[in-house]
Chain A
Amino acid sequence: MTKPRKKSKRISNAEWIRRHLGELVDKHVGKYAIVANGEVFIGQDPVVLEEEAIRKHPGAKLTGLPIPRREDFQCAL
C-alpha cells in the first residue's frame, strides 16, 4: 500500500524527515517511508515504494526511513 502525500517547499529529504517525523510516527508507525522531492511514499515494501517514487520523480534522490514507534524515542540502546 502506498499513499502519496502533498508536496511541500523543496528541501533536502533529511530536512523533510526532520520536520515531519512526528506526523509519520503518529499516523504510520511500523511502516516504511521513502521521501523524494518533498513527497513521501508510505507502505510496507520499500522496493515497491521506491519504484513508485522513481516513476513520479525520475532522477530524484530518494531517502528511506523505517517509521519508529513512539516508545523507540525513549529506549536504552
Chain B
Amino acid sequence: MRPLTFPYISLHGKHPLPIIPLELKGPLGWKETMAYVDSGASFSIFSINEAHRLGIDYITGKEFMITVGDGSSIPVYLHRLSAKISRVSFKATIGFSPRLGVGFNLLGRKDVFERFDVTFSDSRRIVIFSPLAK
C-alpha cells in the first residue's frame, strides 16, 4: 500500500506541526477530526468534545492515569474504536480526558505506530504514514 503524506500545519507560517486528519467511529457514525501526531505519547488522547461528537459516554471507558509533562497525572478513559487514516482502517485504543491540557487531540503510538511506519520530515514539513501489513 502506498505511503500517505500529510503536510504540516503551521501558525501564520511559523511553528509547523504534524497535524493530520483521521476518522473515528462511534455510536453516531464516522467522524473526522484533526490530531497532532505525537511520537512521545504512549496513547492517543482526545478532547471530550470528540467523545460528545461521536456519541460516546467517555467516562464508561477504562480509567487510566497518564503522566504528563509537568510530572502530574491526568485521568484518561480508554475506548477501543475503529479508526481510519485516509483509506487505511484499523482498531485503535483512544483515550478521552477532561483534563487534556493542550489544545490539540494527540495521536500517540499505541495501535497507530504498530499499523504504520511514521516518518517525520521537518525539513520538508511533511509526515508520512506508511501502512504495514496487518
- Write the residues of chain A forming the contact surface with B, with a CB cutoff of 8 angstroms: 13-14, 17-18, 21-22, 25, 29-30, 32, 45-47, 50, 61-70, 72-77
- What is the interface of chain B mostly: helix, strand, loop, or mixed? strand
- Write the residues of chain B forming the contact surface with A, with a CB cutoff of 8 angstroms: 6-7, 9-12, 14-15, 17, 20-21, 31-34, 36, 38, 40-41, 47, 49-50, 52-53, 69, 102-106
Given contacts A74-B15, A77-B106, contact A32 B32 (CB under 8 A): no
Q: Which of A18, A74, A76 contacts B9 (CB 8 A)?
A: A18
A43 to chain B, nearest CB (A): 11
User: 9 interchain pairs (CB within 8 A)?
Assistant: A13-B21, A17-B9, A18-B9, A46-B49, A62-B32, A64-B34, A64-B49, A64-B50, A77-B40
A52 to chain B, nearest CB (A): 13
B118 to chain A, nearest CB (A): 15
CA distance A38 to B32 in the complex (A): 15
Are B7 and A68 closer than 8 Å at their CB atoms? no
CA distance A45 to B52 in the complex (A): 9
Given contacts A32-B49, A63-B34, contact A75 B102 (CB under 8 A): yes
Are B53 and A50 closer than 8 Å at their CB atoms? yes
CA distance A26 to B106 in the complex (A): 21
CA distance A51 to B19 in the complex (A): 25
Are B69 and A14 closer than 8 Å at their CB atoms? no
CA distance A2 to B7 in the complex (A): 29
Are A47 and B17 closer than 8 Å at their CB atoms? no
B93 to chain A, nearest CB (A): 18
